[in-house]
A and B are shown apart, each in its own frame.
Chain A
């Protein structure tokens, strides 16, 4: 989004309160959505719930093409459409809902840094495992990704997507990595998160922030998704405070609806 458009959106956003009929779009939950998209979507949902903003989740097979940035998830609020966690956080802030107001400058810098850490390592690792590990790509990613489409199109789209992601992975220098190295990186990231969390309920003490939403989205999705092998989840399970962190957020913010 260009700067001018962004400024315009935030101005517009400030004018209106959060409507009741806000919608979050994501791909089909049962058949189509992939690990990384599911994680990002869950992070946004967790964030909105932490803010206390109601949102209705809608599954669409073409969600990826509906999104303004081509990324999932995106929310439709009033007459605006915003995609991805970062811009959504900005957007809600413009409407007067923010989780990070209570932090001082140093903490805010640290929060941003940790969010980049998660995007940098967990999200990239998810993409790598989905599309660059041939077993996972053939067994799970390609069939699921193309499930709404019929034969010739499904193959074309899924291979196109795989090619695109691989190019990106190569550009950031992960192309030469082995699966084992990627798992090792995930471990490193989780170790850092676990050390930072320590025994606190949330990363910055009593109040949840967008960092908590992001970490929860990724860890919870990895823990509850079945892949070709469970190595990725096993790596996370060795950090007990991260597990109880996920459970805590799930109970606090998601329990009432599921029960």
Chain B
């Protein structure tokens, strides 16, 4: 179920956050730590779903609009803003734990995370780090892996973009992502081949193993309450866990790490109860239910619009070939008193 396309949160009419946060099935534009963070910190935000990134106030997703008319778009900036407003998930971390979160976020950015997140700069602890290699993996899984790209990502984008854009934007986005991957791996002759795939999967799997080792049997990474690191890990792993990509090696690997899977499901249940229900359907939360990839938002509106367009086309054809003519009817209606002839005869005259 692709429902949850993008989102805006609104704080008691003062703050709005739009993000592309796909709980399930999602070519996630952005797995969004900012949103998870907001949930953990208890910030009263309201979600608004949008499917076209260009409709977000900043042109990127997610975006947060504050009552000061400010638009924040980087997850890190959003988190800093929320911190300033006294919504902070990291109050009870010691200095060392803060340093550890910074390090693990680096690890994920390097090994796992997508550079999809344009500039993940400052997260919590004033700054969290920065993609150096942006996560090659998700770029690969969603954009380069031929099967996933053709079957899911491209279809998804094509279905969710407005009409003329959907023909060329997905292809262009794929080329951009491939280019990015090339730069990050420092390999000019990069092809979407076997070796690359293995290498990326290996890195990503290693990263997951390390996270799993660090988590151990704890409920959250640092004690009993979630921190920004939990938000970060969840924001990136949950989409992998919930997506229904045809080539789901990484998902299989993630599922084999029980503690990480539980960690994601727990957070989903605790902090995203509605999304959780929506996405997990009848409780079996991590079971993909076979693809209904054809779900499109605003279905009614689109049906209505297409009916309208079809009607318009039919009418204009009728006018152009002269089957119907309004002017004649009106002129003749003016010339002759309306009562004298039944309406049908006017149309016949119009034909001639």
**A-facing residues in B30-58 (Cβ within 8 Å):** none
Residue of B nearest to A168 (CB): B183
Given A3-B195, A120-B109, A196-B96, also A173-B130 (CB < 8 A): yes
| B126, B129, B131, B184, most chain A CB atoms within 10 A | B129
Q: Which of B110-137 contact A (CB under 8 A)?
A: 110-111, 115, 118-121, 125-134
- What chain B residues lie within 8 Å of A195 (beta carbons)? 95-96, 98-99
User: What's the least CB distance linking B214 to chain A, in Å?
Assistant: 4
Question: Which residues in chain A, 48-101, are within 8 Å of chain B measured between CB atoms?
Answer: 69-71
How far apart are B206's CB and chain A's nearest CB, in angstroms? 8
Q: Given contacts A119-B132, A173-B120, are A110 and B106 in contact (CB under 8 A)?
A: no
B201 to chain A, nearest CB (A): 11
Stretch touching chain B among A24-32, A147-155, A184-192, A224-232: A184-192
Partner of B214, one of A106, A116, A117, A123: A106
Q: Does chain B have a CB within 8 A of A161?
A: no
Report how far A189 CA is from B101 CA in the complex, Å. Answer: 12
1/0 per residue, CB under 8 A from B, across A198-224: the answer is: 100000000000000000000000000
- Give the distance in Å from the alpha carbon of A225 to the alpha carbon of B214 in the complex: 36
Interface assignment of B210: CB less than 8 Å from any CB of chain A: yes
**Which residues of B in the span 166-211 have a Cβ within 8 Å of any Cβ on A?**
179-180, 183-184, 186, 195, 198-199, 202, 210-211
The answer to whether A109 touches B99 (Cβ under 8 A) is no
Query: Shortest distance in angstroms between A108's beta carbon and chain B's nearest beta carbon?
Result: 7
**Smallest Cβ-Cβ distance to A69: which chain B residue:** B186
- Whether B130 contacts A121 by the Cβ 8 Å rule is yes
| Contact across chains for B104 and A113 when beta carbons are under 8 A apart | yes
A252 CA / B260 CA spacing, docked (Å): 41
Contact A113 B131 (CB under 8 A): no
Chain A: number of interface residues, binned into ranges:
35 or more
Contact (Cβ within 8 A) A120 B134: no
B127 in contact with A184 (CB, 8 Å): yes
Distance, CA A48 to CA B198, complexed state (A): 29
- Measured between beta carbons, the chain B residues less than 8 angstroms from A113 are 100, 103-104, 106-107, 210, 214
CB distance from A50 to the nearest CB of B (A): 21
CA–CA, A198 and B121, complex, Å = 25
Contacts of A253 in B (CB 8 A): none
B216 within 8 A of A: yes
Q: Are A171 and B103 in contact (CB under 8 A)?
A: no
Say yes or no: A172 contacts B110, CB within 8 Å: no
Q: How far is the CB of B213 from chain A (nearest CB, A)?
A: 4
Interface residues of A in 121-151 (CB under 8 A from B): 121, 123-124
* Contact between B134 and A171, CB atoms less than 8 A apart: yes
| Interface band, chain B | 35 or more
On chain B, the residues within 8 Å of A168 by CB distance are: 183-184, 186
Nearest chain A CB to B95's CB is how many angstroms away? 4
Whether A167 sits at the interface, judged by CB under 8 Å, is yes
- Asked whether any CB of chain A lies closer than 8 Å to the CB of B28, the reply is no
Q: Are A121 and B129 in contact (CB under 8 A)?
A: yes
Which chain B residue lies CB-closest to A177? Answer: B121
* A70–B186 CB distance below 8 A: yes
Q: Across the two chains, which residue of chain B brings its CB closest to A170?
A: B183
B210 touches A109 (CB 8 A): yes
Is A105 a contact partner of B186 (Cβ separation < 8 A)?
no
Q: With both chains docked as a complex, state the minimum distance between the C-beta of A254 and any C-beta of chain B, in angstroms.
A: 26
In the docked arrangement, what's the CA distance between A176 and B131, Å? 13
Q: Is A159 an interface residue (CB 8 A)?
A: no
Taking the closest CB of chain B, its distance from the CB of A113, in whole angstroms, is 4
Q: Does B102 contact A (CB under 8 A)?
A: yes
Residues of A contacting B216 in the complex (Cβ-Cβ under 8 angstroms): 106
> Smallest CB–CB gap between A229 and chain B, Å?
21
Q: Indicate if the CB atoms of A105 and B110 lie closer than 8 Å.
A: no
Question: Out of A171, A172, A188, which one reaches B127, CB within 8 Å?
Answer: A188
Q: CA separation between A167 and B180, bound complex, in Å?
A: 9
Min C-beta distance of B68 to chain A, whole Å: 22
Is the CB of A114 closer than 8 A to any CB of chain B? yes
Minimum CB–CB distance from A87 to chain B (whole Å) comes to: 13
Listed by A's residue number, 12 A-B pairs whose Cβ atoms lie within 8 Å are: A106-B213, A106-B216, A113-B100, A113-B103, A116-B110, A168-B183, A171-B134, A171-B179, A172-B131, A172-B132, A172-B184, A185-B121
Q: Which 8 A-B pairs have the closest CB atoms?
A: A173-B119, A192-B99, A113-B103, A117-B106, A109-B210, A113-B107, A188-B127, A171-B183
Residues of B within 8 A of A (CB): 95-96, 98-100, 102-104, 106-107, 109-111, 115, 118-121, 125-134, 179-180, 183-184, 186, 195, 198-199, 202, 210-211, 213-214, 216
Further 18 A-B residue pairs, CB within 8 A, beyond A173-B121, A174-B130, A195-B95: A3-B199, A106-B216, A109-B214, A110-B100, A112-B210, A113-B104, A113-B210, A120-B106, A120-B109, A120-B131, A121-B130, A172-B184, A173-B118, A185-B121, A185-B129, A192-B99, A192-B102, A192-B125
